[in-house]
Amino acid sequence: MKSLLKSPFVNAICVSLFSAFYTVVYILAGRPLYVGLPMIALTVIIVVMLLSRRRRYDEFHAFIMANCLIAALVLTMLSIAAFYLLILHDPTDIGKKFAYFIDTHWVTVVLSDFVYVLLCRRR
């Protein structure tokens, strides 16, 4: 697993597939793409920054990546809890509430990867 975290190419593929999935969800759900366009643009910036790096990351960078993934996981768990509380409180408009969950999840994952790329460039 650590060898995968050290590869900028694998990270670029993962964040690209993740954003492509949510872009398709946006299109199929009829959500306005102007909400997702900043995330798509940020994904492109992340992928360019990752692919411009020629060498693999070291142990320190893998540790930063693991911490960023843990932060994204914690924020996703909190958004799942908020999603369930919203549904229990008012079960109408589940589709709208699920769309807010998708927005939150997409933002947390892409922003955590962006923070990772910025921290690795700085050091």
Question: How many domains are there within the chain?
Answer: 1
Give the per-residue pLDDT at 85: 93
> Which whole-number Å values give the CA distances from 107 to 14, 35, 110, 111, 113, in the listed order?
15, 11, 5, 6, 10
On average, the pLDDT of the chain sits at 88
**Full domain range(s) for residue 77:** 2-122
pLDDT at 81: 93
CA distance 121 to 11: 15
- pLDDT given for residue 123 in this prediction: 60
Q: What is the pTM of this model?
A: 0.84
pLDDT at 19: 93
What percent of the chain clears pLDDT 90, i.e. is strictly above it? 40
With a cut of 50, list the residues of the chain below it in pLDDT.
none
Nearest CA to 4 out of 69, 62, 67, 73 is that of 62
Closest CA to 19 of 101, 107, 99, 78: 107
